[in-house]
Structure 1
Amino acid sequence: MKKKWIATLLTAALTVSLLGCGGGASDKAAATDGAAAADSGKPYIAMIALGFSHQYWQAVKQGAEQAAEEYGVSITFEGPETETQVDKQVDMLKTALGNNPVAVCMAAIDTESVAGILQEAKGKGVKVVGFDAGVGEAEADCKCTTDSIEAGAIAAEHAAELLGGKGKVAVIGYSQTTVDSVERNKGFIDKITNDYPDIEVVDVQFGDGDHLKSAEIAKAMVQANPDLNLIFTNNEGSCIGAYNGLNEVGKIDDVKLIGFDSSAAMKEAIRNGQIAGAITQDPIGMGYKSIEAAVKLVNGEEVESFIDTGCYWYDADNMDDPQIAPLLYD
């Protein structure tokens, strides 16, 4: 990313307020926004995320808007209220395509649900960029995201270090269908299995990123495995849910917890040592690079099929470092 704008972006990502959900504006209003963007006289790019209200998505939006300004395109950015509303997201995609975008950037909740729609759009010349969770390989002209397998592997390395190379671990994921959730788990489990033979993965469950569901899963895990040493959670909702659950059964000091992404609650718990650490992404860069890739594709320029937007481990020791702090959102 270019130095002339990165400081502005980082500041914006840290201060952006939660202005509501993807459904905070009605579907009709979203359609109107898309129509206005399409009629702006600039190439129109539709960006559809897994969600909208969490500050992570607002940081992605900030990066995308900066890229749109620099590259002279018009964009819309939307997502459903929760990251499980497949039908709502499909409707958003159909509405956006009705406004004839030159490209679509999408993080699909369920890749199969949008595969046919995106393939039809591609047949009409629309470029498709997968970001964050991405879309199916057959539908994507390129993907801009964290290398989720590598991110999971980094989490596994830190888990092994925390455990001294031996023990029992469990995994709480947020989705069995969203690509990045699947890949984060794969990276973690494969690394543990292949490189740390004295660490056993005893359970893998999914809680939809919901705090209450994830809390119940964590409590069931420690009940079924009294000698459990660590839980890896692959998104913010799973992490805080597991944190709450371990607290409820008095196991927060006995079972180590590793998270993914960030929030005010996660950062506080990491500072006080109750969460060992987490992986953070670079949502600002992801938003910027997604729009940049879409513009290049529309212009016929060569674009790599996979653009890694990076990730970092953070804990109480490094979370205030200049490289890490701007990437930790509330």
Structure 2
Amino acid sequence: MKKRLIAMLLAGAMCASIAGCSTGTGSTGTESGDESAGSDGAQYHISVVLKTLAAEYWQFVEAGVNAYAEEHPDEVSVEVKGPPSETSFQEQLNMIQTDLGDDTYDGYIISPLQQDMVANLIADTEKPVIALDTDIESDKVLSFVGTGNEAAAKLGAVAAVEAAKEAGWENIQCIEIAGVQGDSTNTARMNGYKAGIEEAGGDFLEDEVQYADATATRAVDAMNGIISRHPEGIAIICANNDDMAIAAAKAARDSGNENYANTIFLGFNGDRAACEAIIAGNLTMSVAQMAYEMGYKSVEAMVQALNGEEIDPVIDSGSEVVTPENAEARLATLDEQLGG
């Protein structure tokens, strides 16, 4: 505690010596609080390590994290960072390890790239940890804040069946272009798609799931294979992410097979690119993750935990289905969240 007080006093002196202290931005992330992050006397100082800051999705998570801190400057300050990409495994582990050894932090919010490795790193910490977006199997984790992937996918699948009916399909079959086989998030979304399609009266062709490693290039190959096997058309193609769904829809258009003209292409993420594709008619719908809300809720939960309050072990940040009817409104919301 004494070290932290001294650090805060020194940081305060530094702020007084320059022309004001404002939100700092570096190559690894941002600090946010009042006019100076982590050095303005906020009650708690939190480390937030994301999977990366280079992708749009994580920029929305970061915006939500900073928004809570900016709304509660006397309560919490945050330092957000992330490696250059979601394959920079060692760089993220180094960031986490460094912050775990920093006595100025009161808690840690982590989006792990390697769950097992992160679980090992946090095994000896006595400070609270919250897992964000991807869970960490560790007794040190107080709560997981993220999308309920199965429930969200089910919501999208039900909407896709209704859209297929409106498009004139009588035999409503669905084939999924999936992500990485064995990945827990992919499995949860697949289970949700299957449950939603069948609950709404459709037929999920489980034996024809196409694994495309979450990449658009492989999704094109998968879609071409589907068209070859089903020249009569398939009512619904659902995908593990928007990039694959958009690529699959383009492959169907490029094929010239008119039996796919009314196919419902369902993606997952609901980011800016997906909204624009829906507005342009290049994607039918997407299940939107609430990345901004995810970041916001993670800091809110951490503050509650540090205040001694009980928090739920799982906090669902929510989801919604983006369609041509609400895509423009969703896009406007995304622009507002990033300050656009």
Q: Is the 8 A contact 2:265 2:284 kept in 1?
A: yes
Q: Alignment partner for residue 79 of structure 1, among 78, 82, 86?
A: 82
Q: Structure 1 residues 198, 246: CA separation in 2 closer, same or farther (over 3 Å shift)?
A: closer
Could you tell me how far apart the structure 1 residues matched to 2:97 and 2:211 are? 29
Q: Kindly report which structure 2 residues correspond to 1:137-148, keeping only aligned pairs within 5 A, or say none.
A: 138-148=139-149
The DSSP-based 3-state class of the residue aligned with 2:328 is: coil
Instruction: Look up the equivalent residue of 1:314 and give its one-letter code.
Output: V
Cα deviation for residue 182 of structure 1 reads 3.0
Which residue in 1 is equivalent to 2:333? 326
Q: Kindly report which structure 2 residues correspond to 1:116-155, keeping only aligned pairs within 5 A, or say none.
A: 116-121=120-125, 125-136=126-137, 138-155=139-156
Which is further off, 56-65 or 219-228?
219-228
**TM-score, with structure 1 as normaliser:** 0.76
Could you tell me how far apart the structure 1 residues matched to 2:140 and 2:208 are? 33
Could you tell me how far apart the structure 2 residues matched to 1:95 and 1:241 are? 39
Could you tell me how far apart the structure 1 residues matched to 2:115 and 2:331 are? 31
Q: Is the 8 A contact 2:269 2:289 kept in 1?
A: yes
Could you tell me how far apart the structure 2 residues matched to 1:150 and 1:127 are? 27
Which residue in 1 is equivalent to 2:237? 231
Instruction: Look up the equivalent residue of 2:333 and give its one-letter code.
Output: P
**Alignment RMSD:** 3.3
Cα deviation for residue 315 of structure 1 reads 0.7
Instruction: Look up the equivalent residue of 2:82 and give its one-letter code.
Output: G
Instruction: Look up the equivalent residue of 1:51 and give its one-letter code.
Output: T
The DSSP-based 3-state class of the residue aligned with 1:320 is: helix
Q: Is the 8 A contact 2:216 2:244 kept in 1?
A: yes
Cα deviation for residue 277 of structure 1 reads 0.8
Once the two structures are superposed, residues 255-308 of structure 1 have per-residue CA deviations (whole angstroms, 9 ceiling, x without a partner) of 421111234442233123331111112222211110111122122211122222
Q: Alignment partner for residue 183 of structure 1, among 171, 185, 188?
A: 188
**TM-score, with structure 2 as normaliser:** 0.74
Instruction: Look up the equivalent residue of 2:278 and give its one-letter code.
Output: I
Once the two structures are superposed, residues 55-101 of structure 1 have per-residue CA deviations (whole angstroms, 9 ceiling, x without a partner) of 22112111111222315333222233333444443333223323243
Instruction: Look up the equivalent residue of 1:304 and give its one-letter code.
Output: D
Could you tell me how far apart the structure 2 residues matched to 1:78 and 1:290 are? 15
Q: Is the 8 A contact 1:193 1:200 kept in 2?
A: no
The DSSP-based 3-state class of the residue aligned with 2:208 is: strand
The answer as to 2:219 corresponding to 1:214 is yes
Which residue in 2 is equivalent to 1:91? 94
May I ask how many residue pairs the two structures share in their alignment?
299
Q: Kindly report which structure 2 residues correspond to 1:261-276, keeping only aligned pairs within 5 A, or say none.
A: 261-276=269-284
Which residue in 2 is equivalent to 1:297? 305
Q: Structure 1 residues 283, 197: CA separation in 2 closer, same or farther (over 3 Å shift)?
A: closer
Which residue in 2 is equivalent to 1:249? 255
The DSSP-based 3-state class of the residue aligned with 1:191 is: helix
Once the two structures are superposed, residues 91-124 of structure 1 have per-residue CA deviations (whole angstroms, 9 ceiling, x without a partner) of 3322332324322212223422322222333xxx
Q: Which runs of 5+ in 1 are unaligned?
A: 1-23
Could you tell me how far apart the structure 2 residues matched to 1:270 and 1:54 are? 20
Once the two structures are superposed, residues 26-55 of structure 1 have per-residue CA deviations (whole angstroms, 9 ceiling, x without a partner) of xxx67x98xx97777653322122332222
Which residue in 2 is equivalent to 1:55? 56
Which residue in 2 is equivalent to 1:286? 294
Identity %: 25
Who wins on radius of gyration, i.e. which is larger? 2
Q: Which runs of 5+ in 2 are unaligned?
A: 1-25
Could you tell me how far apart the structure 1 residues matched to 2:77 and 2:150 are? 33
Could you tell me how far apart the structure 2 residues matched to 1:146 and 1:93 are? 23
